[in-house]
Chain A
Amino acid sequence: MRTAIEYAVFTALAIIGLATLFALQGPGAVVDSALGSGGLLLEVAPLIAGALLVSAYMQLLVSRERIARLLGDQSGLRGLLIACIAGALTPGGPFAAFPLVVGFYRAGVSLPLLVTYITAWSLLGLQRALVWELPILGHNLMVIRYLVALPLPLIAGLIARRLVKLLPDAKGGP
């Protein structure tokens, strides 16, 4: 049932997107866009396959009890800080970070900590900031952006803690 709803949502998104494109730019743009998506799928597929294996190995190898103690629901502020630092130190794009996130989630890391982790990875990731942001945007904007981003992963994690209590998990797991 849940998967049926998900498929419906994804199908609707694809149809709405392509229909809007058709209305604005005609059939040629739709074909171009679909071909581009097909190419991206071929690029992403081997990556996703690897990601699924990484997350499956982590799920079976990592001790759930130890993870739950360090990074579970009861881990408090220390857990949030660990997640924040780990996120900032994780290099690479979503292809590198999300296999880890899936693996951590299944190994018992709490959802709010993963929200903090993803937020820290996307905002404080040193690699992206130094390799792309600094050279292209210049140091003025980059330094200000980085400074104001420092507290944000913790804020997101604390909000997520509230929301998790408001929206209890029906089935569990991704």
Chain B
Amino acid sequence: MLAGTIAVWVFVGALALYAHFRRSSVHKDVLKIAWEQFKLLAIRLPLALLAAGALTRILPQDFIAAKLGGASGFEGVLLGSVFGAILPGGPIVTFPIVVLFMKSGATAAPLVALVTSWSVLALHRVLIYEMPLMGPRFVGIRVASSIVLPPIAGVLAGMLLG
């Protein structure tokens, strides 16, 4: 996270420098626009973080592992798609959990559906970043467009593996 923050601020510095030489009056407008956005986020972001934090703690990992290991075929793919969407956290947290599911007997097709679902739907990412920054219409259309992707990925993976 720290590296990301530093990277973003280096980018801000580069943009500011570039803008300064092109049109030095631009900084004031930039601050005005950023301030407007910030006012919206000041309330939304803390609430979103509270919700995402609680979600992380509610999730029953062992239950998911048992369900996923026992399911087969298309049922497994659908379960993987659903569980993937609610798995919280970034890759450092999630991939070890996926290994846990693998060890409890889940096959490749449901796991591919799960990783795909976690990648495109990622409820915590939607709550923390996307919803506060992009607004409900954007998020609604993006999620609706992506909801079929995890089952497609799982079925394709099943076909590839024969």
Contact = CB atoms under 8 A, between A and B. Distances in A.
A164 interface: yes
Contacts of B133: 51, 98, 101-102, 174
A9 B119 CA distance: 24
A33 B54 contact: yes
Interface residues of A, number: 87
Interface stretch (A37-45, A68-76, A78-86): A37-45
B33 to A, nearest CB: 4
B36 to A, nearest CB: 9
Q: What interface size band does chain B fall in?
A: 35 or more
Contacts of A115: 141-142, 145-146
Interface in A50-69: 50-61
B4 A93 contact: yes
Contacts of A152: 116, 120, 149, 152-153
A60 B30 contact: yes
Given A57-B15, A155-B149, A47 B8 contact: yes
B156 to A, nearest CB: 4
B146 to A, nearest CB: 5
Interface string B32-46: 011001101101111
Given A41-B49, A98-B130, A140 B141 contact: no
Interface in B110-148: 111-112, 115-116, 119-120, 122, 125, 127-131, 133-138, 140-142, 144-146, 148
Nearest to A91: B7
A96 B4 contact: yes
A159 B135 contact: no
A140 B31 CA distance: 48
A1 interface: no
B53 A159 contact: no
Interface in B34-66: 34, 37-38, 40-41, 43-58
A27 interface: no
Contacts of B5: 43, 46-47, 50, 95
Interface of B: 1, 4-5, 7-9, 11-12, 15-16, 18-19, 22, 26, 29-31, 33-34, 37-38, 40-41, 43-58, 90-92, 95-96, 98-99, 102, 108, 111-112, 115-116, 119-120, 122, 125, 127-131, 133-138, 140-142, 144-146, 148-149, 152-153, 156-157, 160-161
Interface of A: 3, 6-7, 9-11, 13-14, 16-18, 20-21, 24-25, 29-30, 32-34, 36-38, 40-41, 43-61, 92-96, 98-99, 101-102, 105, 111-112, 114-115, 118-119, 122-123, 128, 131-133, 136-137, 140-141, 144-145, 147-149, 152, 155-157, 159-160, 163-164, 167, 169-170, 174
